[in-house]
Amino acid sequence: MKKLLALGLAVLAVGGCKSRPLSVCVSPRVTGRVLAADTLQPLAGVKVIRNERTGEPRTTEPGKGGAALQARKEVRTDRDGLFVLEAERVLSPLGGGGWFSVDLLFERAGYERFKTNYSILNLSTNSWKDESALSAGDILLPPARK
């Protein structure tokens, strides 16, 4: 009888619990368009990198496998100057975490490098497939100085 009661309570407890994902979003989906500042024409092939780490010391040691897996991927703008950086998630069974800001770096030959950041305060109320989605809008790259 005790086993049956314990089994019944376990079924009620598990059945009544709301499940939640085991991962947490650590960086939002970012979309935008890159234009030449002087002509306002779309720029194709601009390298867009999320969370560029420029302050890390350079070393001659070979990289570690885990660090290579965690390295940020870059995307390039299409012929219309559009880019999409997909949201990043990590496994977090205990919850918590999340993100507050995202840093972006834009690079293209013949143009100045441009670094900017957005915070969670820049988010719209819309979401993309239940993910945080951030629109960077139009990014203007000035031509490189001669």
Phi, psi of 143 (to 5 degrees): -60, 150
pLDDT of 141: 95
Nearest Cα residue to 141 out of 30, 46, 32, 29: 46
pLDDT of 135: 86
With beta carbons less than 8 A apart as the criterion, state whether 25 and 123 touch: no
Please state the length of the chain. 146
pLDDT of 10: 66
pLDDT of 54: 46
Nearest Cα residue to 35 out of 25, 26, 44: 44
pLDDT of 15: 52
Place of tokens 């019944």: 8
pLDDT in tens, the chain (146 residues): 777 777 776 665 555 554 555 666 677 888 999 999 999 999 999 999 987 554 444 455 555 555 555 555 789 999 999 999 887 777 666 656 666 678 899 999 999 999 998 877 666 545 555 567 788 899 999 999 87
pLDDT of 41: 96
The model's pTM is: 0.67
Euclidean distance between CA atoms 14 and 53, whole angstroms: 44
Nearest Cα residue to 98 out of 131, 74, 122: 131
Euclidean distance between CA atoms 102 and 74, whole angstroms: 14
